[in-house]
Amino acid sequence: MSLKALDYESLNENVKNCQYAVRGELYLRASELQKEGKKIIFTNVGNPHALGQKPLTFPRQVVALCQAPFLLDNPNVGMIFPADAIARAKHYLSLTSGGLGAYSDSRGLPGVRKEVAEFIERRDGYPSDPELIFLTDGASKGVMQILNCIIRDQKDGILVPVPQYPLYSATISLLGGTLVPYYLEETDNWGLDVNNLRQSVAQARSQGITVRAMVIINPGNPTGQCLSEANLREILRFCCDESLVLLGDEVYQQNIYQDEHPFISSKKVLMDMGAPISKEVQLISFHTVSKGYWGECGQRGGYFEMTNIPPRTAEEIYKVASIALSPNVSAQIFMGLMVSPPKPGDISYDQFVRERYVSTLNIHALMKDQDLRTSMENFINSKGILESLRRRARIMTDGFNSCKNVVCNFTEGAMYSFPQIKLPSKAIQAAKQAGKVPDVFYCLKLLEATGISTVPGSGFGQKEGVFHLRTTILPAEEEMPEIMGSFKKFNDEFMSQYGDNFGYSRM
């Protein structure tokens, strides 16, 4: 019997080579255990609504009305929808050419792209052109589109931080390119040293690789750090010197848990640097409705903004986007709503602010926004939930650090904690015998013992002989102590089973 194209042996090797650990072996095993009736705490993926976060009411009202536009003619509609949601639904419907059931332009609705440009202008203080903003089915799809334009063959390299979010490694594999790693310094709070970058590029070039682009994830995933303005300047200067496209993954820009290191966009820093550099560096910045206090992952909405990209290239990206016709229209409206939320004085403003506060992961923005602070004061005082997420990040970091074989940097931003687990050589040996990577072995044991579903550090990349796991900080605050207690109990038992005097994996 001859081999067929969809027999495993015969598949595109790039497909087989790509790894995507966030939904890999650990996730599959967790799903099995859940089917068998075990209670699983899914901390493998930043999926806030799945962990109990409630959607914001106002945007959901607007999109519900857009889905059911006939309600706008119903005399009772005012009994269950506020007037400003009704007005907004009419506004967004007027931007479509046939409601949510019609394909939009392949770049997204022009009216929404205009709202995104206005948001970027307010955020950065520099003009933004709607023609250079493309809406996408989530940020991941945008990243994939851009990498597809950049990667020509295996000789093309993309600089990616290690550890990294495996979207990058998986997509580069899928497209047949080469990942050029640059290491973040765990002992320096996951800082980025430009000398490391230079070394990585020099080494890649000595192997015949053309380094074409550099990825930064800011705030970091899985590492949780916020890049400083000085660091961003160094990176941009480096990209300029080396003619690299900078891909700025800024999907966690609203998820900041401290005040010392605020989020600053790559676009703003680039513009601040002035000509010639501000006119030279090709920058693509990505954002999403899936993170922040929205957490609307399942809607699949995102955008990218292009800076210093030639018009003919933008046309090519447009053409490729056209093949799949258009991003889904309801998520485009979520994006519009995210970048132009209710304003003070709007009927829904107070409720929006209250809910944003409850579900917020964005304590930092709240602290800076005097409007919000004032209107939230009573609520904050009465409910006492101030800084719940900061506290969760803190409980988790402290919990990990209370185990003598675990070290963990504090989560400054994003949604993740990324502790290093020092594994005894006996455990590494046992993992080898079981045919598992050591951190996969550890995470599987953790899952079986406690139901906590994490992602092994090897899925993100780590230095040789060093092991981590990634967990989200999203479980409810009241469940945190129990979860961390359960982790510590497991880890102690693991260490008493495998601990030995023969040494540990290195820090």
Q: Does 94 bind a second copy (CB under 8 A)?
A: no
Q: Does 316 bind a second copy (CB under 8 A)?
A: yes
Q: Does 374 bind a second copy (CB under 8 A)?
A: no
Among 30, 309, 372, 480, binds a second copy (CB under 8 A): 309
Q: Does 4 bind a second copy (CB under 8 A)?
A: yes
Stretch that binds a second copy, among 308-316, 393-401, 409-417, 464-472 (CB under 8 A): 308-316
For a second copy, the closer CB: 4 or 382: 4
Distance CA 443, CA 38 (A): 16
Distance CA 315, CA 309 (A): 10
For a second copy, the closer CB: 52 or 125: 52
Distance CA 475, CA 39 (A): 14
> Could you tell me if 92 and 113 are in contact, meaning their C-beta atoms sit under 8 angstroms apart?
no
For a second copy, the closer CB: 7 or 398: 7
Stretch that binds a second copy, among 119-127, 250-258, 312-320, 458-466 (CB under 8 A): 312-320
Number of residues near a second copy (by CB under 8 A): 99
Q: Does 298 bind a second copy (CB under 8 A)?
A: yes
Q: What is the maximal distance between C-alpha atoms in the chain?
A: 77
Spell out, one character per residue from 98 to 137, where the chain touches a second copy: x when CB under 8 A holds, - when not: xxxxxxxxx------------------------------x
Q: Which residue has the tokens 């990040």?
A: 393
For a second copy, the closer CB: 55 or 222: 55
CB count within 10 Å of CB 292 equals 24
Q: Which of residues 145-184 bind a second copy (CB under 8 A)?
A: 148-152, 156, 167, 170-171, 174
- Least distance CB 422 / a second copy (angstroms): 30
Please give the DSSP secondary-structure letter assigned to residue 210: E
Q: Does 197 bind a second copy (CB under 8 A)?
A: no
For a second copy, the closer CB: 8 or 435: 8
- Least distance CB 481 / a second copy (angstroms): 23
User: Mutual orientation of helices 25-35 and 438-450 as an angle, nearest 10°?
Assistant: 20
CA torsion 474→478→484→487, rounded to 10°?
A: -80
Q: Which of residues 209-268 bind a second copy (CB under 8 A)?
A: 212-213, 243-245
Ramachandran area for residue 292 (φ above 0: left; ψ -120 to 50: alpha; else beta): left
CA torsion 12→13→15→17, rounded to 10°?
A: 180
Distance CA 507, CA 501 (A): 16
For a second copy, the closer CB: 273 or 367: 273
Q: Which of residues 22-61 bind a second copy (CB under 8 A)?
A: 22-24, 31, 45, 47-53, 55, 57, 60-61
Cα distances (Å, whole numbers) of residue 115 to 13, 59, 121: 42, 15, 10
